[in-house]
Amino acid sequence: MANDTAFHPQNDDKMTEPFLIGDSMTGGYGKGPDILHDCTISVNRGEIAVIVGPNGAGKSTAMKAVFGMLDVRGGAVRLDGDDITALTPQQRVVQGMGFVPQTSNIFTSLTVEENLEMGAFIRRDDFRGTMAQVYDLFPILKEKRLQAAGELSGGQRQQVAVGRALMTQPKVLMLDEPTAGVSPIVMDELFDRIIEVARTGIPILMVEQNARQALEIADKGYVLVQGRNAHTGTGKELLADSEVRRSFLGG
């Protein structure tokens, strides 16, 4: 595929366009009303992009739209220049997108190792190398690899969930509120891990409640309000923006 597109006239776009982009998306669930309005979310190679905003702003919805979990009626989703708007979530996983849902994101009755194996289900090649990488990133998982994932602590479960998504060797990783419901200490540790994952070269798109901490590690930030882009910029810019500070970061 990559070789074919090398001769494609769109090649120039590929150099300038972000690696993954949900471009001017408008849509909602099934036949329901539109939740997103002309909303654009993207992430560049090697970067971390975060989506923040008040409750009910459509943060998770925007991410789900990028992942194909709702009907996008206007706009397009492109991965590495290829239009993937019509693909199902499963097909997007095959195309190289890794997704960690906010809840029920692990197999609680399976062991940690089995969770990782199931993450690699679509792979027919030897995935032991990838598993070793995941264990390197999350040493605690190696220690607990024969325990049922449901018996782990909240932070450890999130690591299992991220590790599971990494098993497909995704080209981009999407995290839906990875720190929801964990203590501040665990949250800091999780953010450290996420930075580490990003350092391995995988672009990360995530939705976060904890806007300030998330923007601190973000290369790019999106503030959504009622399904629309309200502010866009680098993490630092948004943190410095007085309006963003006033309305979302509590001064």
Partner 1 sequence: MDLLNSLIVLTNFVLVPALAYGAQLAIGALGVTLIYGILRFSNFAHGDTMAFSTTITILFTWWFQSIGANFGPLPTALLALPFGIAITALLMLGTDRIVYRFYRQQKAKPVILVIVSMGVMFVMNGLVRFIIGVGDQNFADGERFIFTVREFRDWSGLEEGFGIRTTQAITVITAVIVVALLFWFLNKTRTGKSMRAFSDNEDLALLSGINPERVVMVTWLIVAALTTIAGVLYGLDKSFKPFTYFQLLLPIFAAAIVGGLGSPLGAIAGGFVIAFSEVTITYAWKKVLVYALPDGLEPSGLAQLMSTDYKFAVSFVILIIVLLFRPTGLFKGQSV
Question: Which residues contact partner 1 by CB under 8 A?
Answer: 89-90, 93-94, 99, 101, 104-110, 114, 117-119, 121-122, 164
Report phi then psi at 70, rounded to 5: -145, 165
Q: Give the Å distances, CA to CA, from 184 to 54, 178, 180, 210.
A: 20, 12, 10, 10
Residue type, 81: G
Q: Which is nearer to partner 1, 164 or 231 (CB)?
A: 164
Instruction: Report in angstroms how near the CB of residue 138 gets to partner 1 at its nearest.
Output: 18
Between strands 97-100 and 172-176, the pairing is parallel
Instruction: Report in angstroms how near the CB of residue 90 gets to partner 1 at its nearest.
Output: 6
Q: Which is nearer to partner 1, 144 or 164 (CB)?
A: 164
Report which of 209, 219, 204, 111 is spatially closest to residue 165, judged by C-alpha positions: 204
Q: Which is nearer to partner 1, 23 or 113 (CB)?
A: 113
Q: Which is nearer to partner 1, 42 or 105 (CB)?
A: 105
Q: Which is nearer to partner 1, 121 or 192 (CB)?
A: 121
- Cα dihedral 180, 206, 94, 37 sign: positive
Instruction: Report in angstroms how near the CB of residue 247 gets to partner 1 at its nearest.
Output: 34
Instruction: Report in angstroms how near the CB of residue 173 gets to partner 1 at its nearest.
Output: 13
Instruction: Report in angstroms how near the CB of residue 107 gets to partner 1 at its nearest.
Output: 4
Residue type, 99: F
Helix, coil or strand: residue 3: helix
Q: Which is nearer to partner 1, 90 or 183 (CB)?
A: 90
Chain centroid to Cα 40, Å, comes to: 15
> Helix axis angle, 154-166 relative to 112-119, nearest 10°?
30
Instruction: Report in angstroms how near the CB of residue 123 gets to partner 1 at its nearest.
Output: 9
Helix (H) or strand (E) holding 13: helix 11-16
Would you state the structure tokens that stand for residue 36, as one six-digit string? 């997103």
